[in-house]
Amino acid sequence: MTPDYEFLHKGYCDICERSVEFRATETWFRDHLICPVCQSIPRERALMQALKLYCPDYAQKHIHESSPIGRGVSARLVREAKHYSSSQYIPGTPFGTMDARFKTRCESLEALTFPDKSFDLLITQDVMEHIMDPQAAFREIARVLRPGGFHIFSVPLVRKNEPSRRRARLNADGTIEHLLAAEYHGNPVDNSGSLVTMDWGYDIIGEIAQASGMAGQIIQTDDIDRGIRAEFIEIVVSIKR
């Protein structure tokens, strides 16, 4: 049975680099405006544009991706980047070790086990809204990046011009305190999902600078011919000086 499409538009996908007909079965384009070839969604195509712009020779760089999603940019990096590595946060698995269940390395962005200056590029896709201590994560990312290296990432900037706010925090006894109603997003290694800990706004750039010293900027793109149109698909680019 042919799906009922809410929207169809012919354009060009920057991930699979083909002329395609973008399609959506729902009006919430952020999750449903799909490339039929690589199955990417708008924020992934926006991230690919930023990657090509800021690091056009990425295929030769040492790259680490935290929590890859198995399609789109992640799949392309696996194919093309000879120095690509990835990890997932898996509770109960020691950091820096391989998890046999998921066949992937376990890492926490708050306490990475990699040596200083290990990577030219670190990628995260909708991860930074799930970190209990984002300041620690930004410091760790800066630590493992080489001078001139980039952290390129998508994160829903739901607060826009309003100050970022914390939704949950970790208490000293290990319990989670919910400051707002619990909200979860999908998690490839946990069917219960990932708790949203931060509602970020545009002030994330200042938070990154204060925590890590990295300069950053927010890229906002609206280009339906490239399949980049939706809410909350800004890409943040931070550079280690």
Q: Which tens digits make up the pLDDT trace of 178-193?
A: 999 999 998 888 888 9
Asked whether residue 4 carries a pLDDT value surpassing 80, the answer given is no
Secondary structure element (H or E) that encloses residue 205, with its range: helix 204-212
Q: How confident is the model at residue 2 (pLDDT cuts 50, 70, 90)?
A: low
**182-222: per-residue pLDDT in tens?**
999 988 888 889 999 999 999 999 999 999 999 999 999 99
- Indicate whether this model's pTM tops 0.85: yes
- 84 backbone dihedrals φ, ψ, rounded to 5°: -95, 135
**What whole-number distance in Å separates Cα of residue 80 and Cα of residue 74?**
10
Per-residue pLDDT at 240:
98
Question: Rounded to whole angstroms, how far apart are CA atoms 197 and 132?
Answer: 6
- 240 near 211, Cβ under 8 Å? no
The pLDDT tens digits of the residues spanning 9-30 come to 999 999 999 999 999 999 999 9
pLDDT at 188: 82
Is pLDDT above 80 for 3? no
Nearest to 120 by CA among 89, 96, 151: 151
Name the amino acid, one letter, at 164.
S
What are the tokens at 136?
A: 């620690």
Share of the chain above pLDDT 90, in %: 94
**Which two structure tokens, joined as six digits, stand for 79?**
């194919």
Q: With bands split at pLDDT 50, 70 and 90, how would you rate the model's confidence at 5? A: confident
Tell me what the mean pLDDT of segment 19-42 comes to.
97
The CATH number of the domain covering residues in 40-239 = 3.40.50.150
Sequence-distant (≥ 6) Cβ neighbours of residue 100 within 8 angstroms: none
pLDDT at 1 over 60: no
Residues 70-83 have a mean pLDDT of 96
Q: Taking residues 43-64, report their average pLDDT.
A: 98
pLDDT (0 to 100) of residue 166: 98
Rounded distance, CA 12 to CA 227, Å?
7
What are the tens digits of pLDDT across the range 169-178? 999 999 999 9
pLDDT for 89-107, tens place per residue? 999 999 999 999 999 999 9
Rounded CA separation 79/60 (Å)? 12
